[in-house]
Amino acid sequence: MLLKGKVVVVTGGGQGIGQGIVECAARDGARVAILDIRTERAKDLAKQLAARSLEVAVWQADVADAASFGEAIGNVAAKWGRIDALVNNAGVVAPPGSFMDGDPATWDHMIDVDYKGVLNGIRAAVPHLQRAGGGAIVNIGSDSARFGEVGIAVYSGCKGAVNSVSKSLAKELASARIRINVIAPGLIDTPIMDVARSTPEGAKMIEDTQKTIPLGKLGVPEDIGNLASFLVSDRASYITGQTISVNGGMIMFG
């Protein structure tokens, strides 16, 4: 199996893209730790997967709080003896709207979760990956960071920062045999899409954008999960510092 014997940590794994990543990693043989600030859905998911003889455990953690994140990572390592991979998936987004009408407190929250949460996760996980002889980190970005998107400027900016720091740290940590890559989803049908649809501007943005997808459909969480499993596996041992779009061909970067 692709991830047999590996311990994979997934943040925000209780629903949406995170759920897809957890399901694929567990299916591929990993022991999966879900770190989530709200654990109800994550625990339900763990029970469902346990019924299929897949090994998943849940810890509560606030990715925006370095101490909380570090404690949870330590608990995972204590339970399973090692950590081989981290997928920084947890994220928040505000309903689309004018930047000038935005609330700075909302900006701060997005920065804390979407950018600082990634930094906290990498810092907490790296010592464990080093003890395992190396490993992989996958950060979930967004295509909005690569081409810009009206109405979600701060979110796009956070994801742009994730792209940049991932490249820098991929170079810095390569000597420790730690690989870092970014998956940039396009339109994936998840609960976060319902947030976007909650405003007329957001609903129109989704409708207009979907028309530009050559494959003619929205993605599903499994599309992201399949790639994440590959990137944290040994089959991707020569891939690092990359941002890979999963968008049905909506945007093709050359």
Catalytic residues: 155
Is 59 in contact with 33 (CB distance < 8 Å)?
yes
User: Residue 25: which of 177, 138, 179 has the closest Cα?
Assistant: 138
Distance CA 113, CA 35 (A): 13
Distance CA 65, CA 42 (A): 19
Q: How many helices (H) and strands (E) does the chain have?
A: 10, 7
Query: What are the φ/ψ torsions at residue 143 (nearest 5 degrees)?
Result: -65, -20
Q: List strand residue ranges (DSSP E) for the chain, in order.
A: 7-11, 31-36, 56-60, 85-88, 135-140, 178-185, 243-246
| b/e sequence 86-115, b meaning 16+ C-beta within 10 Å | bbbbbbbbbebbeeeebeeebbeebbbbbb
Is 175 in contact with 132 (CB distance < 8 Å)?
no
